[in-house]
Structure 1
Amino acid sequence: MSFEQSSLILQKQLQELIKHPVEGFSAGLVEDSNIYEWEIMIIGPPDTPYEGGFFHSRMSFPKDYPMMPPKLKFLSEIWHPNVYPDGTVCISILHPPGEDQYGYEQANERWSPVQTVESIMVSVISMLSSPNDESPANIDAAKQWRESYPDFKKRVQRCVRRSLEDF
């Protein structure tokens, strides 16, 4: 896959999202001159502790996209079992293709070139609705989610309020 092909694929996906927006997020380029850096605004899903929040994130695509996955990082503060403390999202479909060296994930759960920005974002919105606390990126958030949900919810609601201040 050439640099030119990956750029064309990304341009097509961006145009499709602009023409047919998907509920729950919006996407655009950080700079018009760089198709490999996207700014994503994630709207906290209804009926979750994240409801009402507007979370800034950045999706960075490798030059060999779609053969390899992009990275997604929240720029807004977020408290979630599947988001590292630095904001990096940890979900199976963003892990490189092939077998998991730890044997936790099946190859078909990991990145595949058929994934799109839309399918990634639908997975992230689903992750906000139902965290996977079996394989946490943020152990403290996962522990709090399991053992003290009311405190978890309060902490998330603080993040929601802060996201509105940044908006």
Structure 2
Amino acid sequence: MATAGANKRIAKELNEITREPPSGMKVRLVDESNVHKWEIIMDGPASSPYEGGHFKLLLTLPIEYPFKPPILSFQTKIYHPNVSNDDKGSMCLGMLRSDEWKPPNKILAVLNMARNLLVEPNAEDAIETSIAEQYRGDRKAFEKTAKEWTKKYANAK
């Protein structure tokens, strides 16, 4: 069962983020009665192949939060070396690994890191190796496919 302390911290972080959301993001609870599931709408950053897209992400906080890391997944398909290309949309983000996560880390930092990965993918820590190889070896082709997917799946014009 979630501790009162964990829920209090989550509520505090949610309050901070909804009061001053990170640039290009909207954050809300999936269900008002559950502070452990957040929906994030992230705008594709300017001058990235994701520009103009609106990506829906799901942030799930374990009951052991902040001692265990949150899980961040893309609900919108995205062509990216650090996001799994399956229906899970799992995100490979160093700080979200249980061996790298530290209780003082905040959800805001997680969201900002996720957005930064859209600007600059980390091909060295890829979950999709073929996309990472393309990103490293043929940036033009990578950007073309990423833009096509953004138009197709993320409501970009």
- Kindly state the Cα deviation for residue 159 of structure 1 after the two structures are TM-superposed: 2.1
Q: Is the 2:80–2:131 contact (alpha carbons within 8 Å) kept by the matching residues of 1?
A: yes
Q: Note the C-alpha offset of 1:147.
A: 1.7
Q: In the alignment, what sits opposite 2:120?
A: 130
Counterpart contact for 2:82–2:126, Cα < 8 Å: yes
Deviation at 1:51, TM superposition (A): 1.1
CA distance in 1, matches of 2:149, 2:59: 20
| Partner in structure 2 of residue 163 of structure 1 | 154
Q: Does structure 1 residue 70 correspond to structure 2 residue 70?
A: yes
Q: Which residue of 1 aligns with 2:94?
A: 92
Aligned residues: 153
Paired letter, 1:152: F
Distance 2:10 2:149 in 1: 31
TM-score normalized with structure 1 length = 0.86
Q: Does 1:146 align with 2:136?
A: yes
Measured after TM superposition, the shift of residue 149 of structure 1 is 1.5
State how far apart, in whole Å, the 2-side matches of 1:19 and 1:29 are: 14
Gapped regions of structure 1 (runs ≥ 5): 98-109
- The 3-state SS of whatever aligns with 2:14 is helix
Q: Does the CA-based 8 Å contact 2:26-2:42 persist in structure 1?
A: yes
Matched letter for residue 129 of structure 1: V
Q: Residue type of the partner of 1:92?
A: G
- Describe the SS at the equivalent of 1:29: strand
In 1, the alpha carbon distance for the partners of 2:103 and 2:85 equals: 28
Q: Which moved more, 1:68-77 or 1:141-150?
A: 141-150
Shift of 1:24: 2.4
Q: Counterpart of 1:12 in structure 2: which amino acid?
A: K
1:76-111 CA-to-partner distances (Å, cap 9, x unmatched) read 0101111112310011100003xxxxxxxxxxxx21
Q: More strand by proportion, 1 or 2? A: 2
Between 1:19-28 and 1:136-145, the stretch displaced more is 19-28
RMSD over aligned CA atoms reads 1.5
SS in 2 for 1:35: strand
Match of 1:111 in 2: 101
Whether 2:41 is the aligned partner of 1:41: answer yes
Would you identify which runs of 4 or more consecutive aligned residues in structure 1 move more than 3 Å?
A: none
| Separation in structure 1 between the aligned mates of residue 115 and residue 58 of structure 2, nearest angstrom | 15
Secondary structure at the aligned position of 2:56 is classed as strand
Query: Which runs of 5 or more structure 2 residues have no equivalent in the other structure?
Result: none
Q: Distance in 1 between matches of 2:119 and 2:141?
A: 17
Whether contact under 8 Å (2:92, 2:125) holds in the other structure is no
Q: 1:39-68, CA deviations, whole angstroms, 9 ceiling, x for partnerless residues?
A: 011111111111111100101110010011
